[in-house]
Chain A
Amino acid sequence: KAGVTQTPRYLIKTRGQQVTLSCSPISGHRSVSWYQQTPGQGLQFLFEYFSETQRNKGNFPGRFSGRQFSNSRSEMNVSTLELGDSALYLCASSLGGPTSYEQYFGPGTRLTVT
């Protein structure tokens, strides 16, 4: 079974621009979560989508948004990029049921904001 895929793997943007990252979950998984990882703050939860609805949200400003499509693929958008948004953005998928904390992570998208 194919794993979680994220595109692009690397991205360089300029401050003030916006960016869209894509995540394709494992087939059959209905939950997709997004995380930001930086050396200073570690791994931080952004939001989770389940059946096209945002089910959970972390403590990030409104510049960070996401959506999920009917095929469970998800996109994350960051508008008005700031230097501090440089990070590894990870997507994770799971079946979505309330039975396990087992999530499957993708390789991440490395975003650099200059």
Chain B
Amino acid sequence: LAKTTQPISMDSYEGQEVNITCSHNNIATNDYITWYQQFPSQGPRFIIQGYKTKVTNEVASLFIPADRKSSTLSLPRVSLSDTAVYYCLVGAFNQAGTALIFGKGTTLSVSS
């Protein structure tokens, strides 16, 4: 899987939009970009996945520029409950199975 770089931590206030950028300069043609969220003492939770341009679901949006060397997870109007660690993963699907390789992630702290 391609190496990813994310900020170690970010702070925000309730109601603000939060954008977490992930750098993946060595992304391969077949690689997809996936984001997970993890609360303390819980397993990670899948947020969103994309290949190019923009993907949106009920939780977040994922913006991927044309060169795909970075991606931005956008969380609209965060609340205290969005305080968590966010992981960016990059890799290709293959028949050999799916081994998720997690980096350090970004710890997002939301205050009131």
Contacts and interface: CB of A to CB of B under 8 A. Distances in A.
B43 A107 contact: yes
Interface residues of B, number: 25
What's the dominant secondary structure at chain A's contact region? strand
B34 interface: yes
A25 B103 CA distance: 25
B41 A108 contact: yes
B97 A55 contact: yes
Interface residues of A, number: 31
Given A42-B103, A45-B101, A100-B49, A105 B96 contact: no
Contacts, number: 75
A55 to B, nearest CB: 4
B41 A33 contact: no
Contacts of A107: 42-43
A70 interface: no
Contacts of B66: none
Interface stretch (B7-15, B20-28, B68-76, B87-95): B87-95
Contacts of A50: 97
Interface string A75-114: 0000000000000101110101011111111111010000
Interface of B: 32, 34, 41-46, 49, 87, 89, 91, 93-105
